[in-house]
Amino acid sequence: MNNSIHTMYNTSIFAKHSYCIKQQVGTCLFINNMHFYGYNDAPFAKEIAQCPRVVNGYEFGVGYRLCKEVCGQKYHAETMAINHFKTYINEMYSIDLLSEDPILFLKECKDKGIKIDGPKWMYIFGHDRPCEHCTKIMKDLGISHILLCKNKEDIFHDDRWKIIRLDN
């Protein structure tokens, strides 16, 4: 099994941690030759019958405030994976660099002599595209490729995945 397929499979496992009624999304940030996983946390969603965004007929990218207000979602899956990477950097180097702005975070790392190099990819399972906000954060962090797999049936067929190139 090639590494990308293995990573996407593991990403699909993380999606199962989500309680989101509408979509269980898992992500993996591959950066510095390491994997950092995330999922769309929505701890209160298991207590409601229908997604409030669906009930209100919102399209993609609209009404995300309801995810936070009703379902208790703190992070999208992409930002959770990025925050796990930031936590790793802070613990590994015994420093406190938790700037929310990816550009400032990268500058802080550079100023402290922390190298962030190699390929930077984001794997996303359970969705066909990231929201505009997450795309901007990934671009600012220097992620070059987003690999998306919507369905379990496609995990082992990487030729069916959607690939988005972020030109930085």
pLDDT at 168: 58
pLDDT at 52: 92
> How far is the CA of 37 from the CAs of 34, 66, 140, in angstroms?
10, 24, 19
Global confidence as pTM: 0.89
Where would I find the beta strands (DSSP E) of the chain?
Answer: 26-31, 34-39, 121-125, 145-149, 162-165
The sign of the CA dihedral 62, 40, 162, 156 is negative
**Residue 132 sits in which domain range?**
3-165
For residue 138, the number of C-alpha atoms closer than 13 Å in the C-beta half-sphere is 33
**In CATH, what number is assigned to the domain containing residue 103?**
3.40.140
**Domains contained in the chain, number:** 1
Q: Which ranges in 93-142 belong to alpha helices (H)?
A: 102-111, 132-141
**How far apart are the C-alpha atoms of 149 and 75, rounded to whole Å?**
20
Q: What tens-digit pLDDT sequence spans the chain (168 residues)?
A: 478 999 999 999 999 999 898 899 999 999 989 999 999 988 888 888 899 999 999 998 888 889 999 999 988 999 999 989 988 988 888 877 667 777 788 888 888 888 887 789 999 999 999 998 899 989 988 899 999 999 999 999 999 999 999 975
Q: Which of 19, 152, 136, 10 is nearest to 82 (CA)?
A: 136
Q: How many residues does the chain have?
A: 168
Collapsed DSSP state (helix, strand, coil) of residue 10: helix
List the structure tokens of 160. Answer: 């069916």
